Structure 1
Amino acid sequence: MYAEERRRKIASLTAVEGRVTVADLAEAFDVTAETIRRDLAQLDAEGAVHRVHGGAVATRSFQTVEFTVAARKNAQKDAKLSIARLAAECLPEDGGGVFLDAGTTTEALADLMVHSPDSRRWTVVTNSLPNAMTLAASNRIELQLLGGQVRVITQAVVGDAALRTLAVMRADVAFIGSNALTIDHGLSTADPQEAAVKRAMITNARKVVVMADSTKLGRDFLVSFASLEDIDVVITDESAPEQFVADLKDHGVEVMVAS
C-alpha cells in the first residue's frame, strides 16, 4: 500500500471513529509505529487530524478553510478518477438532463463525458468554469453555464442569478461534490453561496449522486446543504471505513465503492 493511500485511510478512520492509536494503526497497516507517527504528523500539519499522546483524534470543529482548485486538483487524484468512472454509470439516457456541480471530482466526470466513446447526448447545466471549459469541447453536449458571481478560490458561479435560473430548471441527475459528509449532519461546505447552489441542484433533480472521496467522510464544514434523506447515491473510494458505508446504507443511501 502506498503511503498516500495509507494516510487517506487513517484520515477517514479518525474522522469516523473519533480517535485512533498508533499501536492499533501499526497493526492494522502492518507498518512500524514510527511510520504511523510520521503519517499522523503529516496529517496533523494538513489539518486532517489532531495529534495527541499515543495517537490522534478527529477534527470536530466546523471547518471553514478552503483550498484553491489548483491545490485540490492533484489531491486524491486516483480516487477521484475511479469515482468519476463509477459516476458515469449513473448518467441518464440519451437526451437526458444533468446538473454538474463545481469541484475537482465532478471535473473528472466532465472529462470522461467528453472523451468517452458513448454516443448519448445530454443537456448539462453547470456552475463550474473548469467544467464548462471541458464540456464545451463536445458536440454531444448541450451546455449551459449558470450566470452570476464567480468565486475565485473554487471557480464556481454563485449568487441570485444562478439560483433564479436553477429554480425553473429540472434535471434527471445531479452530480454533487461536497467538502464533507457525516451521518448526523449530511453534506456541508464552507461557503453559504455555494451551499445555496448545491441545494438548488439537489431540490430540482430526480436523482442525486454525491461524489465524495474517503477523506471527506466524517468531516463537518460550516454550512450544511443537504441531509442523508436528500441523497440517492454516494460514490466514494475503497478507503471509506466499512462502518461508515454500513451506516449510509442503513439510512437508505445506495453506496458505490470505487476500487
Structure 2
Amino acid sequence: MSRYERWNALLELLAEHGRLEVEEAAEALDVSAATIRRDLDQLARQQVLTRTRGGAVAHGVSYDLPLRYKTARHADAKQRIGALVAGLVAPGEVVGLNGGTTTTEVARALAVRTDLAERPESGHGLTVVTNALNIANELAVRPQVKIVVTGGVARPQSYELIGPLAAQVLGELALDTAVLGVDGFDAGHGATAHHEGEAAVNRLLAERARRVVVAADSSKLGHRAFARICGLEAVDTLVTDDRVPDGLAAAFAEAGVTVLTA
C-alpha cells in the first residue's frame, strides 16, 4: 500500500468513526504504529484532521474530506453514474454542474460525447455553467463545450466557488438541466451538503433549471448533511448505482422522483 493509499484509508476510517487511535489504525492497515503516527502528523499539517494524544479526530461534527481524497471512493459506481447522467443531456442544452467527484465524472462523460459536435447556430454543442474550478479546467480545452464559470470565493476542500459573486452570476442565467452532486439525499430532508455556502449555490443552480438531476452513489442515500439544498419536490431525477435499497428507491419514487440506476 502506497503512502497516498494509506492516507485515503485513514481518512475513510476517520470519516466513518470521527476518531482514530494509532494502534487500531495500524492493525486495520497492517502497518507499524510509527508509520501511522507519521501519516497522521503529515495529514494534520495539511489541516484535514486534528492530532490528539494517541491518535486523531475529525474537524468538526460534519466531516468534509477534501476532494483530492475522495476520488477513490466508489470510483466505478461514480463513473457509471456519470455516463448515465451524461446520456440524459441533449445537444445544445445549458447544463449546470456543481462540484464533487460524481459531477466531475459527469463532466468527463459529457466531454467524450461524440454527438456534441459544434452547432452552426451557436458554435457549441453544449454550454456548461459550473462553480467548480476543476470541472471548468477539464472542459475548457473541449471546443464543443462553452464554459461559464460563476465566480466567487474558492473552497479548497471542493474547488467550488461560493458567495455573493457566484449567486449574482447564477441569478442572470437560465439552465436546461442542473446536475447536483450531494453529500446526502434523504426522503425526509431532500438534498443536503456539508457546507452552507456550497448548499446556497447548489440551491440557486436548482432554482435556475427546468430539470434537476441528483447524481449520487448509494452511500449518500438515506443520509443527511448539515446544510439543506432543496427538498424532494425540486428534484426530477435521481441517478445512483444498483446498490440502492428497494425501500429507499420506492420512497423517492413515491415522492415523484424518477430513480435511474447505473
TM-score range, shorter chain: 0.7 to 0.9
Letter in 1 for 2:75: K
- In structure 2, distance between residues paired with 1:239 and 1:63: 27
TM-score, normalised by the number of residues in structure 2: 0.74
- State the structure with bigger RCO (CA 8 A, min sep 6), 1 or 2: 1
Q: In terms of Rg, which structure is larger? A: 2
Residue in 2 that maps onto 1:31:
none
> Are 2:96 and 2:130, in contact at CA under 8 Å, matched by a contact in 1?
yes
Aligned with residue 179 of structure 1, among 179, 183, 186 = 183
Query: Which letter does structure 2 place at the counterpart of 1:87?
Result: V
Give the residue type in structure 2 aligned to 1:101: N
Q: CA deviation at 1:45?
A: 5.5
Measure how far apart 1:118 and its partner are.
2.1
Tell me the equivalent position of 1:234.
Answer: 238
Please report how far the alpha carbon of residue 117 of structure 1 lies from its aligned counterpart in structure 2 after TM superposition.
1.7
Write the distance in 2 (CA, Å) between the matches of 1:47 and 1:140: 41
**Is 1:88 aligned with 2:92?**
no
Deviations 1:124-175 (A, max 9, x none): 1100011001111210011111111000111100010000110110110000
2:147 to 136, 143, 149: 143
Q: 1:102 aligns with which of 99, 116, 119?
A: 99
2:16 to 47, 63, 81: 47
Identify which of 67, 70, 92 aligns with 1:69.
67
143 and 254 in structure 1: CA distance in 2 versus 1, 3 angstrom threshold: same
Partner SS state of residue 95, structure 2? strand
- 3-state SS of paired residue (2:224): coil
Structure 2 residue identity aligned to 1:70: R
Asked if 1 retains the 8 angstrom alpha-carbon contact of 2:15 and 2:63, the reply is no
* 1:130 pairs with 2:134: yes
Superposition deviation, residue 196 in structure 1: 0.6
Gap regions ≥5 residues in structure 2: 1-10, 19-59, 118-124
3-state secondary structure, aligned to 1:131: helix
- CA deviation vs aligned residue, 1:11-46 (integer Å, no higher than 9, x gap): xxxxxxxxxxxxxxxxxxxxxxxxxxxxxxx98764
The one of 211, 216, 240 aligned to 2:220: 216
Q: Mapping of 1:105-124 within 5 angstroms?
A: 105-120=102-117, 121-124=125-128
How many Å separate the matches in 2 of 1:43 and 1:234?
A: 25
**Which residues of structure 1 form unaligned runs of 5+?**
1-41, 50-61
**Per-residue deviation, 1:89:** 1.8
Tell me the amino acid that sits aligned with residue 167 of structure 1: G
SS of equivalent residue, structure 2 residue 239: strand
Q: Identify if the C-alpha distance between structure 1 residues 48 and 108 changes in structure 2 by more than 3 Å, giving closer, same or farther.
A: farther
Letter in 2 for 1:151: R
- Equivalent pairs, count: 205
User: What is the distance in 2 between the residues matched to 1:115 and 1:74?
Assistant: 21
Contact 1:63 1:220 in 2 (8 A): no
Matched, 1:255 2:252: no
**Cα deviation 1:73-93 (Å, max 9, x = unaligned):** 11100000010111012113x
State the distance in 2 between where 1:189 and 1:144 align: 23
Q: CA deviation at 1:228?
A: 0.3
How far 1:48 moved relative to its partner? Answer: 6.8
TM-score by length of 1: 0.75
Instruction: Supply the distance in 2 between the matched residues of 1:219 and 1:210 (Cα, whole angstroms).
Output: 14
Distance 1:157 1:45, change over 3 A: closer
